[in-house]
Amino acid sequence: MKKYLLGVCILIASHQAFAQVDSIASAAQMVKTKKGTDTLWRNTIAFGINFSNVGLNNWAGGGQNAMSFVGVVVGTVAYHKDRVHWNNFLDLAYGFQRLGNKSAPFRKSDDRIYFQTKFAYEQTKKLRYAALADFRSQFAQGFNYYDNVKKDSSVKISDFLAPAYIKASIGLEYLPFKSTSIIFSPVAAKYTIVNDQALSDSGAYGVKRGQTLRKEYGVSFMLKYKADIFKNVTFATQLYLFDNYNNFNVDVFWDCFLYLKVNKFLTTTFTTSLIYDDDINITRDNGSVGPAVQFKNVLAVGLVYKLNGYGIK
């Protein structure tokens, strides 16, 4: 199963596209980049708001009132001088929804904290030495709901830093095409944090019962690719694989992003996230417990305001 999943992910992702956005905040003075002016720093930041509301009154067709809200912030900054490249990316999202009348509770629908930083030094135009680190978690508590009406019919399964994943690696980056990046790291580390006593005591997310940190060391592989499918339509993907030195249990983190730009402010986005970790036991739909593929997709239509074209000399 694990070898099959690994092969499928590599095969599909190698024919898809990738989003490489790079970022880091700087305290230096920022000045607007003029055409033809070389700058060491370049950055962008985008703010997105997606809102929907459904109101029903004596509606013969049935249904429920619904309200949802999702806020997104994506920031990038890149540094480049001679052979040195420092690229960073920050992706934040939080959303909630309410099904039913005004007395129904709001429940979390999206929650994401992701930061990635990469330092690379050019050996040739297509080959670089690279050091990569990223952080992934969520802002607030997450629950499994077993009833759509009763507020107390839920089980807590996550919280801020529970889990959180920190991954770091050192290796080689290969750039076969302009929009493609492949990083192979023979030296890699993955840390799983469960900073919640109840979840820690239950051994959630692969940590030993009562502990808050799981350390793993091994090799990693990352593929990024980005493609403009049509005018104003962009598809991007990032596939990260990690294999522990002690056993052949490949962890998979795979994110895909489809971006459709309607005009300067109105956009549609479709994102998916797939995670497979052999150390995480999940209660499946049929009631059995064990490792399983985790999958999430979000379709959003909303307003986006983007700032770019700024540099730091």
Which domains occur in the chain, in start order? 2-312 (2.40.230)
What tokens does 308 get? Answer: 């770019």
Helix (H, G, I), strand (E, B) or coil at 4: helix
- Report pLDDT for 102: 83
Q: 9 pLDDT exceeds 60?
A: no
Q: Percent of the chain at pLDDT above 70?
A: 84
Mean pLDDT of 30-53: 69
Mean pLDDT of 34-62: 78
Amino acid (one-letter) located at 84: V
Question: What are phi and psi for residue 200, nearest 5 degrees?
Answer: -65, -45
Q: 12 pLDDT exceeds 80?
A: no
What tokens does 138 get? Answer: 């969520």
Contact assessment for residue 310 and residue 32, using Cβ atoms and an 8 Å cutoff:
yes
- Report pLDDT for 298: 87
> What whole-number distance in Å separates Cα of residue 114 and Cα of residue 112?
6
pLDDT tens, position by position, 191-202: 999 999 999 999
Q: 118 pLDDT exceeds 90?
A: yes
pLDDT top residue among 1 and 47? 47
Query: Whose structure tokens read 């990693």?
Result: 220
Mean pLDDT of the chain: 84
| pLDDT tier, 126 (very low <50, low <70, confident <90, very high otherwise) | very high
Q: 26 pLDDT exceeds 80?
A: no
State the maximum Cα–Cα separation within the chain, in Å, rounded to a whole number: 69
| Cβ-proximal residues to 283 (8 Å cutoff; 6+ apart), any chain | 144, 289
| pLDDT tier, 265 (very low <50, low <70, confident <90, very high otherwise) | confident
| pLDDT tier, 147 (very low <50, low <70, confident <90, very high otherwise) | low
What tokens does 198 get? Answer: 């109840």
What is the model's pTM? Answer: 0.81
Mean pLDDT of 51-75: 88
- Report pLDDT for 309: 53
Q: 313 pLDDT exceeds 50?
A: no
Q: Exposure string (b/e) for 158-197, b if CB count within 10 Å is 16 or more?
A: bbeebbbbbbbbbbebebeeebbbbbbbeebbbebbbebe
Mean pLDDT of 59-88: 92
